Structure 1
Amino acid sequence: TDEPVVDDQPVVDDEPVVDAGPKYGGTMRITAWGEPVGWDPAKTMYSQLIYMRPVASQLLTIDWWKGPQGTGENPMDLPWIAPPDSLQVGDLAESWEITDHTTVVYNLREGIMWQDKPGIMEPREFVADDVVHNFERFMASEVHIFATDPKHPVSATALDKYTVEIKMNEPSFYQLHTTIPMYFPMVAPEQIEQYGDATDWRNLTGTGPWMVSDYVVGSAVTYERNDNYWMKDPEGRDLPYLDGLSVMIIPEIQTRLTALRSGQVDIMQGVTWQAAEELEETNPELERRSIVNTVVIKLLLDHKNPPFGPTGDPDALKVRQAANMAIDRQGIIDGYFQGNAQTVTNCMAPGLAVAAAVENLPPEAAQLYEFNPERARELLVEAGYPEGLKVTLATDSTSVNLADMFTLVKSMWDDVGFDTELVVGEAASHWGILLSHNWSGAIHAQWGFSTGPGAWDARDGVVTYFNLADVQDDELNDIYDALDDEWDGQARIDLAADSYVRANELASEIYMPVDNLYNYWQPWVGGYSGEMGNG
């Protein structure tokens, strides 16, 4: 009989490998350095609501599926900063329409449920009256951003059960397009009716994917999955995939790094370049991604009083130019940061279209970023200070590194004719003085990229919240008027770039180099590529 033919080659399965999809369950552990500042969106700045945003949703959100884990259309470095239309997607609202320059109408999703919070409320549907309730709280708050911006919503009206109309007092594209739909998380009216506000985490009730289950000061904020969350992934699977989320509060950087090295945390964002060099040596298995540093270190200059003000005074301009040109930015990058930093010319992310690169600035503005102590000395003489002048440079004590860097700035200023007093104050006092607009000389502001093009808005003599240096310039105000009337996306980008060029022509403030940062995650973490934000 014939023997069977034996093929000693490995059997190849022609069937395609089927993606098993995400694995459900488990708890993700991430790190944070500070305690929650607040839980109530009507009493706390949006940027300080990082612990409550997983609980409470906004009208619109970012389409995270267009990031690295989806179509790859956007790197998701800074998705919340002036997001283009292509990145916005409905959250509580299914669709929306800006009907005129002061009005936006939102059509809410049907079937979204408030979370089940024993003692506060049973689950019920989210409806238009809930949006009205939240926006009336925002508009009535004396500490909310609406209270300090002359352009703000004046009414929120439920047109029917699932339709809301919000009206502005004056045209503002940025408010209608970004601020109103994306910066105001909604909390349950029942919580406010029962407790008066949303300041206690134990009562926090939203519609988001997570619910706060515990908060231990100095330890962690713990979240549990909201099983009634409405959103699905592109394949129709329930979200979130995880059962829990733990934000471990670890103020000390070395302790955070130890937790990352030992696998006690899964994701750590904002790792400095110094720590990244160490981690490459000790834990090469960790995944990482270089990210844009979202915090700009800048020196605000007092535009109300000499020697840096007023804005339009020619001699004050020369002093501001001298203060800029006296700083050896490249020397700071090469020496202080050991090459791990870059020059920025404004408070927008270097990778965004509105960021004006030094090489694209007009000569009068570009010269600010050239280290030219000789010209700085000449400018002070031309401004009427042949014997030099006394100035104050104020910073805070939260970071020894910043104080060290500003010691270098003091030395550079003193070398060209300034007599600089470096004042290092307690953090709370420093920021209180800064926000009061009641300061003189130069003051350090550690400011995010999100200040946007309105950072120097002083139209009709009203200085806006972000214009902390009281810059007042007719050309900038004209640009802001044009921005309010312009609704084309590319035209708005061009106008925003114009505002940054103009601010540099005025030498309105001093931008220090921005150091490189990294996001790290453990090799077992799937579906993550170092994105920033609440994805």
Structure 2
Amino acid sequence: MDREPAGLDPTTSHVTTAVMIYNNIYDTLLAFDTNMDIQPRLAESYERLDDVTYKFNLRKGVKFHNGEELKSSDVLFTFKRLYDIPAAQGQVSMIDPNGFECPDDYTFILRTKEPWSALPAQVCSSYMNILNEKAVTEAGEDYNRNPVGTGPFKFVSWTPGDSIVVERFDDYWGEKALLSKINFRIITENTSRVIDLESGGLDIALAVGVNDIKRLQNNPELELIQFTHTGIRYGAFNCSKEIFADKRVRQALNYATDVETIFNVLYEYGLGAMRANTPVIPLLSGRNTDLPQYEYNPEKAKALLAEAGYPDGFSVVYNYLANTTNTRLGEMLQAQWAEVGVELIMSPLESATLTAALNAGEHDFCTANSTYALGDTIEGLYSFFHSSMHGTSRCRAFLSNPEIDALLDEARVEQDEARREQLAYKIQELIHDEAPWIYIGYEYYNIGLKSDIKGFEPAPNSAHDFSRVYIEQ
């Protein structure tokens, strides 16, 4: 892994590496397959009783890793807990907190506040992995590093800075995992992961860096899997900070950024990504392909800064996770912004500290690679840009625009897909003008495997299922 997660509580931990691991420890009621189609999971079936009411029929005999049987009360506990954690509240903003029912141990009913067609996709969200009430209560603050789920693997150990170990859960309700144990090693430097893969220290190298792609392709004993990801890499201005409250400043720094050069350096002229012009990824409908990219124009940037009251520029702090990609990106931005009088102060942070600072809105500027975990354009835009999402793990720009909020609210409950797409186009136009992000690229995800590793099917949202992976003898 390229990054140590802050924890393995799905309610609070949502960096990609956390999702990769706990997707195999927990189950959701419904889940996306590798084609992003919704399939039954802990709920063997569900039905929409009316416009706002959904009924989930739970599988019987499902065991948690602590031996407890899954009951509807655990599902209720999981959903209600989301309301108590600020970073997760946006995930249940459309669900009626008073609309839950548990008619019996194997039936769970929920109601949305308004008709909401994205509810089944929302139930697939990693936030909604089902927890065992007893395990969470007994562990207290230690639960984040002692997870208990119903998944094909159970948690064994966590050695900080080194590894996280899981092993096969023999009482799993579905097909038993083929591997007896998985050791998720934490190796933050890209090339070091590839070297370990080549030497046999790793069987699978997650998040292979662009600079190492050709190296893997030229090694007959290794396999490279490259696939279109549900993520986009971007830089986010904290619009709640005084320096970035004026959109002219944000527009200026978009014009001051030579994205083409950055893209070519980071992704070797498209080997590892596609150029981006909107926050909506190519996999989804409703992407406004007509929006222009901000061209590199330092003189226009200077004029906008002067117009906004900063003729002599200013200083801004860049908080980031220290890795090769973020460091190179920061160094290029630092040089480019200096040309218009803006000093970029680079401030690398450890993973947990960075996540806490970003959720609290303490940053000036950050970069991120965020995913459309629900496979829905409107829900993705809502999580990134609606003002109610401030302080959550996906909202890094802290944008407040009443018109964008109103259109997102309308689109969330709109049942007509054509109208929904029109709203998505309009929302993207407004976001483009607000310029809360600098679009870097729609990244491909690269995974290296030894040639004897079989059964691995990558998930576009990075929630990879390792239960079907095996080593060919």
TM-score (ref. length: structure 2): 0.82
Q: Check conservation: 2:77, 2:131, Cα contact below 8 A.
A: no
Question: Which residue is 1:285 aligned to?
Answer: 221
Query: Map of 1:447-458 to 2, 5 A cutoff?
Result: 447-450=369-372, 452-454=380-382, 455-458=384-387
Aligned mates of 1:285, 1:37 — CA distance in 2: 34
Q: Could you tell me which of 110, 113, 123 is aligned with 1:180?
A: 123
Instruction: Say whether the 8 Å CA contact 2:163–2:183 is kept in structure 1.
Output: yes
**Counterparts in 2 of 1:34-183, with a 5 A limit?**
34-45=3-14, 48-64=18-34, 74=35, 79=36, 87-100=37-50, 102-115=52-65, 117=66, 121=67, 124=69, 126-139=70-83, 141-146=84-89, 150-155=93-98, 156-169=100-113, 173-174=117-118, 176-183=119-126
Query: Retained in 2: the 8 A contact 1:319–1:380?
Result: yes
Q: Count how many residue pairs are aligned between Structure 1 and Structure 2.
A: 449
TM-score computed with the length of structure 1 as normaliser: 0.73
2:283 matched residue in structure 1: 351
The match for 1:325 is 255
Judging changes above 3 Å, is the alpha-carbon distance between structure 1 residues 391 and 104 closer, same or farther for their aligned structure 2 residues? farther
Q: Secondary structure of the residue that 1:500 maps to in structure 2? A: helix
- Give 5+ residue unaligned stretches, structure 1: 1-31, 65-73, 80-86, 232-237, 310-315
Q: Paired residue for 2:320?
A: 396
Q: CA distance change for structure 1 residues 280 and 473 in 2, over 3 Å: closer, same or farther?
A: same
State the distance in 1 between where 2:262 and 2:73 align.
54
Q: Which amino acid aligns with 1:299?
A: G
Distance 1:225 1:132, change over 3 A: same
Residues 489 and 270 of structure 1: is their aligned pair in 2 closer, same or farther, counting only changes over 3 Å?
A: farther
In the TM superposition, residue 88 of structure 1 has moved relative to its aligned partner by 0.4
SS in 1 for 2:454: coil
Moved over 6 A (4+): none
CA distance 1:276–1:297, change in 2 (3 Å): same
- Measured in 2, the distance between the counterparts of 1:136 and 1:326 equals 45
Structure 2: give runs of 5+ residues left out of the alignment: 374-379, 466-473
Equivalent AA in structure 2 for residue 61 of structure 1:
A
Residues 277 and 327 of structure 1, relative CA distance in 2, 3 Å threshold: same
String of CA shifts for 1:391-425, please: whole Å, max 9, x gaps: 4142336135423332322332332x333242424
Task: Give the whole-Å Cα distance in 1 for the aligned partners of 2:324 and 2:46.
Answer: 47
Aligned to 2:412: 484
SS of residue matched to 1:199: helix
Distance 2:264 2:9 in 1: 43
Partner of 1:227: 170
**Are 1:338 and 2:261 matched, yes or no?**
no
8 Å contact from structure 1 (residues 45, 144) kept in 2? no
Q: Paired residue for 1:407?
A: 331
**Which residue of the partner structure matches residue 376 of structure 1?**
301
- Report the AA paired with residue 323 of structure 1: L
Deviation at 1:173, TM superposition (A): 4.7
For residues 150-203 of structure 1, the C-alpha deviation after alignment (integer angstroms, 9 at most, x for no partner) is 5455143202232111234566554x233334332223333245444671756x
Shift of 1:485: 1.7
- Counterpart of 2:439? 511
Cα distance in 2 for partners of 1:108, 1:367 equals 48
Distance 1:194 1:409 in 2: 47
CA distance in 2 between counterparts of 1:130 and 1:470 reads 33
Contact 1:394 1:444 in 2 (8 A): yes
CA displacement at 1:446 relative to structure 2: 1.5
SS of 1:271's equivalent? coil
Residues 64-92 of structure 1: CA distance to partner in whole angstroms, max 9, x if unpaired?
4xxxxxxxxx3xxxx4xxxxxxx001101
Cα distance in 1 for residues equivalent to 2:142 and 2:318: 35
Q: Secondary structure at the match of 1:444?
A: strand
What corresponds to 1:210 in structure 2?
153
Deviations 1:224-259 (A, max 9, x none): 32333233xxxxxx4433333332333443432222
Residue 448 of structure 2 is aligned to residue 526 of structure 1: no
The superposition leaves residues 332-371 of structure 1 with CA deviations (integer Å, 9 ceiling, x where unpaired) of: 23345431343213444333334433xx21xxxx151x22
For the aligned residue pairs, the C-alpha RMSD in angstroms reads: 3.3
Quickly say closer, same or farther: Cα 1:59–1:46, change in 2 above 3 A.
Answer: farther
Measured in 1, the distance between the counterparts of 2:402 and 2:95 equals 22
Give the share of equivalent positions with the same residue, in percent. 22
| Residues 226 and 132 of structure 1: CA distance in aligned 2, closer, same or farther (over 3 Å) | same
One-letter amino acid of the structure 2 residue matched with residue 443 of structure 1: F
Take 1:321 and 1:515, find their aligned partners in 2: how far apart are those partners? 23
What amino acid is the match of 1:395?
A: N
Contact 2:46 2:56 in 1 (8 A): yes
Q: Is the 8 A contact 2:317 2:346 kept in 1?
A: yes
1:303 to 220, 236, 239: 239
How far, CA to CA, are the matches of 2:91 and 2:124 in structure 1? 18
Question: Deviation at 1:36?
Answer: 4.6
Tell whether the 8 Å contact from 2:154 to 2:166 is kept in structure 1 after alignment.
Answer: yes
Question: What amino acid is aligned across from residue 94 of structure 1 in structure 2?
Answer: E
Letter in 1 for 2:249: V
2:178 is aligned with what amino acid? Y
Question: Take 1:244 and 1:508, find their aligned partners in 2: how far apart are those partners?
Answer: 43
